[in-house]
Amino acid sequence: MPVDPAVVDNNWSQTCWKTLNCAVLAENNNDVSLTLKTIHGGHSPNPGWSSIDEPGILIDLQKLNQISVSDDRKVVSIGPGQRWGAVYEALDAYSVSVIGACIPSVGVGGSILRVLLYQAYFFHFPGKYGLGADNVKNFEVVLADGSIVNANAHSNTDLLWALKGGSPNFACISAFASWQKTSSSDTASTVAMIITLDAITLCLLYAAPTVPPSVFAAFGALPAPLVVAVPPATGTSPCSEPRPDPGIHATANQSSHDYRGISSGVDADLYKDVYAMWKETATALRASTGANMTFVLQPIPAAMAEASKAAGGNPMGTPAKTHQWWTTLVDWTSAADDAAVRAAPMAVTTAWKKNSAARGLDVPHIFMNNASRDQNPLASYGAANVQKPKKIAEKSDPKRVFQDLQNGGFLLRDP
């Protein structure tokens, strides 16, 4: 039967649109199991990672979208086909929330396996709770042989560890740096900043009803007053309110997207130097292609590594020190501009790394959710954190179905 066009075209980025001959719209885990047995013998805009062309089979999980809350309201079970906006809305009725992606359209399955499994951009209170993936209590997964297993603290514990970020193998800038060096030690506080050529969006979050006056003081001291877009509020709803999409300034016809990430130490002069280069690059890119490009700073407190460790750990090898994840999202229209547009964030990333190294602030770690197709975040985890998942993959997928037959994603066969 003909493939539903919605299955082909539903991905958020046109760079992932491909024509396929076979799609399986699974309605439950048994459908996924049967499909994997048969062929056994997103989030990411990287081409081929959330899509497949004619030789392959697409397994669509959008109908696996259940949301159920435990009687004690301490655990929520979420299907991989759900989106975070719907999850937060459903949990509001219970006056609870979860650590998930901050953009409502992001899919649960994609964001969690990459790092919840593919978490997008910002996440809430990393110093207090770690990454989204660190808060997963159980993964129900279909292995390459079609068997359905659970990975949790009591069963398949090695698989649980590997799934936490193991990919599909199984003026404001100065204030920002000041906050990182002082108030970021307060694990209840979180700051997010998104810069475009048109505006700067700043989000201040605190995981308690009362905010200490000093925690966000660096931003109150800015010479230019801030325009309050969202009034201060408390409760679970404001806490889980999705933050602005870094691609919010993309026009309606800008259907192609790419992003790229890098890490560094905390330094206001570094931020300003790279920002100047980014602004020059983004301005020229918009003039030549009409593309919109963001400059996004993600503060990573030292406490995040401790929170991750306390939750059982993960393979990501996140440095146990306060540092910075930087990412850029670029949105454009014409496929004829693909090469020129991709070159822009690559140039800024190269400049960031060069400037970081010159200051002794280079951090090799690459956050997988921010990585572009030519980057290698798995290798940045460190040798030990690559070898262990490889051994776990050999155990759960001895015939290398997910390594040899899967066409996209950051795979263990690559590092």
Position 22 confidence tier, pLDDT thresholds 50, 70, 90: low
Supply the range of the domain harboring residue 284: 164-381
Percent of the chain with pLDDT over 90: 16
Domain count for the chain, please give it.
2
Q: Is residue 267 part of a domain?
A: yes
Structure pTM? 0.68
Q: Is residue 49 located within the same domain as residue 176?
A: no
Cα separations (Å) of 293 from 69, 284, 341, 377, 380?
39, 11, 9, 22, 25
Q: pLDDT, tens digit, for every residue of 35-50?
A: 554 444 344 555 555 5
Residue 23 is predicted with a pLDDT of 63
30 domain residue, yes or no: yes
The answer to whether position 407 is within a domain reads no
Burial grade of 228 (CB within 10 A; 0-12, 13-18, 19 or more): exposed
User: Is residue 196 domain-shared with residue 317, that is, in the same domain?
Assistant: yes
Given a contact cutoff of 8 angstroms between Cβ atoms, the answer to whether 184 and 301 are in contact is yes
Residues 179 and 39 in one domain: no
The answer to whether residue 395 scores a pLDDT higher than 60 is yes
The closest alpha carbon to 84, from 67, 61, 63, 60, belongs to 67
252 falls in which pLDDT band (50, 70, 90)?
A: low
C-alpha distances out from residue 47 to 146, 366, 393, Å: 27, 20, 24
Question: Is residue 238 within a helix (H) or strand (E), and if so which, with residue range?
Answer: helix 236-240
Say how far apart CA 39 and CA 276 lie, in whole Å.
50
Strands (DSSP E) found in 155-240: 189-195, 200-206
| 316 and 203 in a common domain | yes
Instruction: Give me the pLDDT at residue 368, please.
Output: 86
3-state secondary structure of 144: coil
Element (H, E) at 363: strand 362-363
Whether 320 is covered by a domain: the verdict is yes
- Is residue 294 situated within a structural domain? yes
Residue 361: give its domain's CATH number: 3.40.462.20
Could you please report the per-residue DSSP string of 239-257? HHPPPPPTTTT--TT--EE
Q: Is the pLDDT of residue 5 over 70?
A: no
Q: What is the mean pLDDT of residues 238-260?
A: 58
Residue 389 included in any domain: no
Does residue 85 form part of some domain? no
Look at strands 292-293 and 362-363 and give their pairing. Answer: unpaired
Same domain, 169 and 25: no
Are the C-beta atoms of residues 226 and 147 closer than 8 Å to each other?
no
Same-domain check for residues 48 and 176: no
Q: What is the pLDDT of residues 134-180, one digit of tens each?
A: 777 888 877 777 788 888 888 888 888 887 766 556 543 444 444 44
340 assigned to some structural domain = yes
The pLDDT value recorded for residue 116 is 38
Is the model more confident about 408 or about 350?
350
